[in-house]
Amino acid sequence: MSVTRQLLAVFRVDKEISGLQSRLTAAERFLTEQTKKLAEIGAQAESLNAQIRQLKASSSNAEGESERLKGHIDDLREKMNNATSNKEYKALLSEVNNLKEQRSVFDEQGIEQLEKIDELGKQLSELEAARAEREKMRGLAENERQQRADEIADRLAQLRSRRIELVADVPGDALRIYQELLDSRGEDAMAPLEIVDRKRHEFVCGSSMMSVPVEVAASLIQGKLTISPNDGCILYLTEEDEESLSGTFKK
């Protein structure tokens, strides 16, 4: 068996392995997306909770200041009731009015903060609902990923075992070239040489679809490892085309 035919056998196994793994990869990608979105929701919820905690602390401080000022105002009013002169009464009244204005500021702050807490609480409730739905989706994604893995496990094991057997017979230099192309080009590592006109010796590279010289076909018939002069992939002949050309070129 020619080195090209050996590599083609490996290539076909690699393509089947890649096809099976692509299904698992898609399921894993979907699971990763769900996990990422769930983490984003969690981060948003934590941010809202932090804001709510801060607002509650500020609201509590504002309420405390308001109560403190109220106590001070009550004390001043008691003094007003016991004022011994009009001057003293007016001074106490001025101080009361000033404290009432300060208290009003704290009361307004407290109301604004409570309104913000309510608004953030609604957003948090919406996020919790979204988190519950996303957790369901992640659960489904986990099940799908496991199902995919179970479905292909046996076949993958068979293919990997078969690949080990196949590569054992491939010359090291040829295998190294193939592996480099597989890593860089994937399923375009190898391509068929397509016959346009056998009698006129017209051929094209099945990857680039550009014409190649007749010497390329001759090289393949002679069993040599042949690289496409157009895009660098390894060329091969299908069994049918190899038989068709076998009498055209001398091995």
Residue 248 has pLDDT above 80, yes or no: no
Element (H, E) at 222: none
| Residue 243 CB coordination number (10 Å) | 10
Residue 42 has pLDDT above 80, yes or no: yes
Quick one: pLDDT band at residue 250, thresholds 50, 70, 90?
A: low
Residue 251 and residue 202 in contact, taking contact as beta carbons nearer than 8 Å: no
| Chain segment 107-136, per-residue pLDDT in tens | 999 999 999 999 999 999 999 999 999 999
pLDDT of amino acid 246: 74
pLDDT of amino acid 211: 93
Quick one: pLDDT band at residue 251, thresholds 50, 70, 90?
A: very low
| Chain segment 197-246, per-residue pLDDT in tens | 888 889 999 999 999 999 998 899 888 999 999 899 999 998 888 888 87
CA-based nearest residue to 225, from 187, 184, 189, 185: 189
Give the pTM: 0.63
pLDDT of amino acid 245: 82
Q: How many angstroms separate the CA atoms of 17 and 137, rounded? A: 28
Place of tokens 């196994």: 13
Tell me the torsion sign for CA atoms 173, 178, 181, 183. Answer: negative
For residues 66-88, give the mean pLDDT. 92
pLDDT of amino acid 198: 83
pLDDT of amino acid 158: 95
Q: Where are the domains of the chain?
A: 3-167, 186-245
- % of the chain beyond a pLDDT of 70: 98
Residue 206 and residue 192 in contact, taking contact as beta carbons nearer than 8 Å: yes
| Contacts for 123 with CB less than 8 Å, ≥ 6 apart | 48
Residues 3-167, CATH architecture: Orthogonal Bundle (1.10)
What rounded mean pLDDT belongs to the chain?
Answer: 92
Distances (CA, A) of 43 to 120, 132, 141, 194, 227: 14, 15, 21, 56, 53
